[in-house]
Structure 1
Amino acid sequence: MELNRLTQNVNKAADADAEVVRKYYSNAARFQLREKDGDGPATCADVEAEQAIVSVILEEFPSHSIYGEETGWHNRDYALLPDQFIWVLDPIDGTSSFVGKDNCAFGILIGLVYHGKPIIGCIDQPILKLRWVGVKGKGTTINGESFYSGLL
């Protein structure tokens, strides 16, 4: 397993999502809001941002499975294989805050699971330009700089 390559792809995917999010966030006539099967609001920005992430992942890892909050499964059959990577995406977590422009209380969530266990997680706040990435066995970074949080 190439954790460095996977981590680079997580960052590339978050960059693609953040570009879409910033485009819609700065546009006053941004989008139409729709209700997601009783699961809160969704916008065309959510769908476009998720598609951006999926494209980046599948370009580099075409056999990986992906589950996105907006569009569901990609390569679902591969998810049944024993040595499969599964990406879990929420392209805009906190859509209500995104739509209301409430103090930037929304973000991008990307997780990668291998053998049923998380190995990489990314939280990106595209408006504040803050990104946390945690990698199993390698620790956490904030905007690429190592970060350690110990007990006080």
Structure 2
Amino acid sequence: MNDVLPPLFGSRHERFKTVAVDAARKAGAILQQYARSGFQIEYKSVVNLVTDADHQAEQAIIDCILAAYPSHGIFAEERGRQLGTDSAFQWIIDPLDGTTNFAHGYPAYCVSIGLEYEGQGLLGVVYDPTRDELFTAVVGQGAYLNGTRLHVSDVQRLDQALLVTGFAYDIRDTPANNLDHFARFALRAQGLRRTGTAALDLCYVAAGRFDGFWELKLQPWDMAAGVVILREAGGRVSNFKGGPLSIYDQGLVASNGLIHEAMLAVLALG
């Protein structure tokens, strides 16, 4: 993973970030409006749902981005992939990460917007409208929370670490459901949490609120922004075997770097 901006990205990174932040804040305002006034729920499956707030927030983000960059590609959770004439740039969007939380009135959800150039994650913006917390990062420029520089924790031992994870929508239908990993980590870590929003989990590791995160069966829009933010905060991400992470693979291990090998060792137990 490169840690500097590619030449074609250049000085444009501030404009890209401005557009992403504007889109995220507009989407966040839409989510909060629906949270106050009510929304309709559709079920993709028994435990996988979507609301009209998802759709409206996603449309607002796409409109913002395409107004500024009409040639760029879009890869959004609800809309899918739209190829642009400038296919080197792709915006990866989750308009509401934590839809189940949102639908139940539990204030743990966010807007996540990432930008790739030729497959390399360059920019991440994650906005939590319930706390007005804006996480941002540009490759080689550091990670920030509401303008304050972020850095991962300095916890060095797994038994002193607070970890977070999540469970896929098919938890009832597959043995690869993360329950075995959860049980093993519960016996080795200081504590475990499950928030229901992977993008915020990654940002919280970046902010030192969690020390490590792992999850199976994530989608690109769950990881695109948060991975950039975590790396820029000094963290480490990998696949379950410790190799390079692709957001188009589904297993992710993220940490402050100091407990990463210990986490991989637990996952390797089966």
Q: Shorter-chain TM-score: what band?
A: 0.7 to 0.9
Structure 2: 5+ residue runs without aligned partners?
1-8, 156-270
Q: Is the 8 A contact 2:113 2:126 kept in 1?
A: yes
Classify 1:136/1:46 alpha carbon distance in 2 versus 1 (closer, same or farther; 3 Å): same
Q: What TM-score does the superposition give when structure 2 sets the normalisation length?
A: 0.51
Classify 1:39/1:85 alpha carbon distance in 2 versus 1 (closer, same or farther; 3 Å): farther
Alignment of 1:43-122 (within 5 A): 43-74=51-82, 76-78=83-85, 81=87, 84-102=88-106, 104-122=107-125
Q: What TM-score does the superposition give when structure 1 sets the normalisation length?
A: 0.88
Q: Deviations over 1:9-50 (max 9, x none)?
A: 1101101111111101112xx121111267710011000000
Runs of 4+ in 1 over 6 A off after TM superposition: none
Return the index of the structure with the highest Cα Rg. 2
Aligned match of 1:21 in 9, 28, 31? Answer: 31
Identity of aligned residues (%): 31
Query: Which of the two has greater strand per residue?
Result: 1
| Whole-angstrom CA distance in 1 between matches of 2:46 and 2:71 | 32
How large is the RMSD of aligned CA atoms in angstroms? 1.7
Q: How many residues are matched?
A: 145
| Whole-angstrom CA distance in 1 between matches of 2:149 and 2:36 | 31
Structure 1: 5+ residue runs without aligned partners?
none
SS of equivalent to 1:124: strand
SS of equivalent to 1:58: helix
Q: Which residue of 1 aligns with 2:184?
A: none
Q: Which residue of 2 aligns with 1:10?
A: 20
